[in-house]
Amino acid sequence: MKAEIIAVGTELLMGETQDTNSSWIGSRLPEVGLELHWVTIVGDNIDELTDILARAWERSDVVLTMGGLGPTMDDLTRDGIAGMLKETITTDPGLKAWLEDSFARRNMNPMPQQNLRQAGIIPSASSIHNSLGTAPSWWIERDGKILATMPGPPRELTNMWSTEIAPRLKERIPGNVIMSRMFKTIGLSEAAVDEMVGELYQMPGMDFGVYAKPDGIYVRAIAKAQTEAEVLSTLQAAETKIRAALDEYIWGTDEDLPAVVVGQLLRERGYKLAVLESCTGGMLGGAITDIEGSSDYFVGGAITYSSDLKVQAGVPAATIDDFGAVSEETAIAMAEAARRTYGTECGIGVTGVAGPDDQGDIKAGTVFIGVSHPGGTSVKEHRFPSRRPLVRNRAVTAALLQLASALRSH
């Protein structure tokens, strides 16, 4: 079935706010049996909004709007829908009471008069409360079509989607249970992964996709069937085959992040981690501490951007003198110094040339990553495309996945 997204807001057209919602919803639509055909961003202009709503209502089975549900006069999504469906907005007493209650609970009493706009509804819509904000959603089923409004702030939108909109859509889209699973690999090229899963492409009821991402190659398995039991068993069969083909390269699934995977492995083993970072300048520590509770296994480390600081943090001066600050030997010495200096079981050392300029003989994009743990120390050389932000981001991901792989095989 065809779905369409309409994102409302002049700030999206001015480039002041990036529309990240459409892509987030877009990646989730296959799981409710919908195929996204159009995304339109339109400003706070009632004629243009009503026009695109009418067109969407005509050509799509499910229309999802985002934004424009606030209390001010330029929040026009409700008016646009009412106009398009030729229905009249009236104040819903239940919604009004819920809104007043929301404001009272936040000690904002009385509710500003203009928020009453958010209690408006049309006859063919039912309302869905928003547990994270004051903008309720409308859910409309008419003429064999579905239209749902969602609030614009990403936290409110993702919550509304997951708890309210997606379950309703799954219920109403018949004969189409769809589930997907993402397998995240590292260490193989896109072509190699494609070849290894190629024979699965004939599995009935399954679709596969292979994608190159900054943290490796992903394989997405999408199963479709009439019942949930059927879809689960198809997906399980696909997973067994994918794991047989790619097991040693898979570092995570679905929402897994490298820093989360490393954190779990460290926690399971009761190990602590310290880092010594040169070209990543603190980004590796930043990625590790993005994760809540990372203080359970991460103690910190040093940003050794200058050679002096490397020595101060425990790297033998002779290693740097003999092999250079950007070398296998220095990366190993950094990983081992991290463990020794900070008294941890695991250490990571990252040294490289982020660029854009080469450093003497060493090409921009060259990064050495050393990983040390109770089972030993290993080092890898990487040659990333020589764009500075890319080099640094890839180096962080590679360092985390190198430690994860070392811990797993230990």
Which residues contribute to the site for a copy of itself (CB under 8 A)?
12-20, 22-28, 30, 36-43, 45, 48, 52, 211, 275, 277, 279-286, 288-290, 292, 294-295, 298-306, 308-309, 312, 341-342, 354-356, 388-389, 392
Q: How many Å from the N-terminal Cα to the C-terminal Cα in the chain?
A: 48
- Nearest distance from residue 88's CB to a copy of itself, in Å? 28
- Nearest distance from residue 180's CB to a copy of itself, in Å? 11
- Nearest distance from residue 164's CB to a copy of itself, in Å? 20
**CB neighbourhood size of 376 (10 A):** 9
User: Which of residues 17 and 124 has its CB atom nearest to a copy of itself in the complex?
Assistant: 17
User: Which of residues 251 and 297 has its CB atom nearest to a copy of itself in the complex?
Assistant: 297
Two structure tokens written together for 114: 């203009």
User: Which of residues 4 and 92 has its CB atom nearest to a copy of itself in the complex?
Assistant: 4
Residue ranges of E strands in 49-150: 62-66, 90-91, 120-121, 125-128, 137-142, 145-150
- Nearest distance from residue 89's CB to a copy of itself, in Å? 25
User: Which of residues 51 and 87 has its CB atom nearest to a copy of itself in the complex?
Assistant: 51
Two structure tokens written together for 364: 């921009």
Identify residue 290 by its one-letter amino acid code. D
Q: How far apart are CA 288 and CA 294, in angstroms?
A: 7
Q: How far apart are CA 235 and CA 181, in angstroms?
A: 8
Q: How far apart are CA 254 and CA 257, in angstroms?
A: 9
List Cβ neighbours of 88 (8 Å cut-off, separation of 6 or more): 82, 122, 123
- Nearest distance from residue 137's CB to a copy of itself, in Å? 21
**CB neighbourhood size of 340 (10 A):** 14
User: Which of residues 48 and 87 has its CB atom nearest to a copy of itself in the complex?
Assistant: 48
User: Which of residues 137 and 294 has its CB atom nearest to a copy of itself in the complex?
Assistant: 294
- Nearest distance from residue 331's CB to a copy of itself, in Å? 16
Strand partners, 378: 371
User: Which of residues 15 and 174 has its CB atom nearest to a copy of itself in the complex?
Assistant: 15
- Nearest distance from residue 227's CB to a copy of itself, in Å? 25
User: Which of residues 89 and 362 has its CB atom nearest to a copy of itself in the complex?
Assistant: 362
- Nearest distance from residue 40's CB to a copy of itself, in Å? 5
Place of tokens 């430690």: 403
Q: How far apart are CA 139 and CA 128, in angstroms?
A: 7
- Nearest distance from residue 211's CB to a copy of itself, in Å? 6
User: Which of residues 177 and 284 has its CB atom nearest to a copy of itself in the complex?
Assistant: 284
List Cβ neighbours of 267 (8 Å cut-off, separation of 6 or more): 296, 297
- Nearest distance from residue 41's CB to a copy of itself, in Å? 4
Q: How far apart are CA 43 and CA 147, in angstroms?
A: 19
3-class DSSP state of 265: helix
User: Which of residues 138 and 342 has its CB atom nearest to a copy of itself in the complex?
Assistant: 342
Identify residue 195 by its one-letter amino acid code. E
Q: How far apart are CA 82 and CA 206, in angstroms?
A: 40
**What is the DSSP secondary structure assignment for residue 116, as one 8-state letter?**
G
Helices 190-197/228-246 angle, 10° precision: 120
Two structure tokens written together for 96: 């009004």
- Nearest distance from residue 94's CB to a copy of itself, in Å? 30
User: Which of residues 74 and 199 has its CB atom nearest to a copy of itself in the complex?
Assistant: 74
3-class DSSP state of 312: helix
Q: How far apart are CA 122 and CA 124, in angstroms?
A: 6
